Amino acid sequence: IGLDDMFIMLAAWRKTDTSLTVTERMADTLEDAGVSITITSLTDLLAFGIGSLSPLPAIKTYCLFTAIAVLFDFFYQITFFGGFMVLFGYMESFNCHGVSCLPSPQSGQRLRRNDVVTIRSISHHHVTEIDNTRRVNSAHSIPAKQHIIMCFFRDYYAKLISKPISSALVLILYVCYIGLSGYFLTTLVIGVEEMNIAKQGTMTFDYLEIFSQYFAKTGPSVSVAFTEPYPYWQPDKQIDIEQVLLDFHDNSHIQNRNNTEFWLDAYIKYLRTSYGTAQLDQNTFVTVLKDQFLKLPCCEKYKLDINFNGSVITSSRFILASRDLLSSKDENDLLLDVRKSVDEATEYLGINVIASSIGFGYAERYQTIVPTTLLTLGIAVISMLLVFLIIIPIFQLVY
């Protein structure tokens, strides 16, 4: 943005009359370029300001910092850079070298010694005197040489684009562009492939490539937690939990029931083997669980799945195995199905149930892409329209 504004101001300076004083040339430059860089900076500032309202922290931070940078760049262009343009304008009027800043007299022109001394000392009175002299001696000014690119667009491209056949061709291309854009929007897939975020040839890329080819059918695990106390020792409550598990396994991206890691399944088998029954009172159920079952070498892993507060199980979890997550769409479908099952389990059991997986972080972002994009796009279009209506020179032209 800063480079664009710089070139706009330099192009406006090149178009000014060299016979004018530096003050007048700078005024003409800002008159020509000021509106352009103001509209550019204002619209960019609005765009990034709206982007800073995004619910995604990464986008919010990026847009906020960029909006501040755009605001700083605007004031930088009209103050610091503009001041340097004035200094180099005086150097140009005195025919000074652009690098060494020393006088380089050209044919038919000589600089007086006191003029050179004055530009070095920046005496306001004498600079004004020289500006007046430049205005009177405008016949000795050297016309600005137009750049070859400017000449090309002025003398050739402008004439070409003004022909009726060119206008018809542009209209046809625009219609084709709109049609192709609409078609590809219908085929657009939300998400990103993990291999595309790694550089080709790196170990990360090779790992992701091998994983997608051979191991993608077995996805990351999904942890489902009961965050409130629940009477796990009651047989009817155990049946309710089993019904919840079956509901989760109705998801097409969840592996079958045998692949679920649940401490209650293993504990009930242990009780039936060791005690002949799984129907125990609360104290016995929890005591055997803490003092015997969780101390078995094969069952120590379940210590991470249960939280105790004395003889009360305050929270616990089971782990589901996902499958066939071959694309971002599959991850998104898994997230939606698990959320639906979690809501149903919360209502059915009467306690709070939550679920989490390492892949849900990406899938949750996919959920916000479409509504966030449409919202920010609509706000941006309205904001740009308002800026256009405010800054347009002749408001009646809108109608």
Question: What CATH code is carried by the domain that includes residue 242?
Answer: 3.30.70
Domains identified in the chain, total number = 2
Q: What is the phi-psi region of residue 168: left when phi exceeds 0, alpha when psi lies from -120 to 50, beta otherwise? A: alpha
In a domain, 62, yes or no: yes
Query: Structural domain of residue 353, as residue ranges?
Result: 218-358
Q: What is the mean pLDDT of residues 38-51?
A: 85
In a domain, 167, yes or no: no
DSSP β-bridge partners for residue 96 = 103
In a domain, 205, yes or no: no
Task: Give the domain-ending residue among 145, 175, 209.
Answer: 145
Three-state DSSP class for 262? Answer: strand
Strands 353-357 and 218-226 come out as: antiparallel
Contact 61, 70 (CB under 8 A): no
What percent of the chain lies above the pLDDT cut of 90? 35
From the list 294, 333, 302, 332, the residue with the least C-alpha distance to 318 is: 302
Query: What is the pTM (predicted TM-score) of this model?
Result: 0.61
Q: Above 80 in pLDDT, residue 183?
A: yes
Q: Do residues 137 and 54 both lie within one domain?
A: yes
Q: What is the pLDDT of residue 201?
A: 84
In tens, the pLDDT along 151-175 reads 888 888 888 888 899 989 999 999 9
The C-alpha torsion from 289 through 293 and 299 to 305, rounded to 10°, is 10
In a domain, 232, yes or no: yes
**Token representation of residue 272:** 């039936």
Q: Above 80 in pLDDT, residue 184?
A: yes
Q: Above 80 in pLDDT, residue 195?
A: no
Task: Give the domain-ending residue among 90, 117, 145.
Answer: 145
Q: What is the mean pLDDT of residues 335-359?
A: 93
Q: What does the mean pLDDT of the chain come to?
A: 83
In a domain, 233, yes or no: yes
Task: Characterize 10-23 residue by residue with b for buried, 16 or more Cβ atoms within 10 angstroms of its Cβ, and e for exposed.
Answer: eebbeebeebbbbe
Residue with structure tokens 């120590």?
Answer: 300
Strands 218-226 and 312-323 come out as: antiparallel
Task: Give the domain-ending residue among 145, 168, 192.
Answer: 145
Q: Do residues 136 and 225 both lie within one domain?
A: no
Q: What is the pLDDT of residue 377?
A: 81
pLDDT band at 399 (very low <50, low <70, confident <90, very high): low
Q: What is the mean pLDDT of residues 194-219?
A: 82
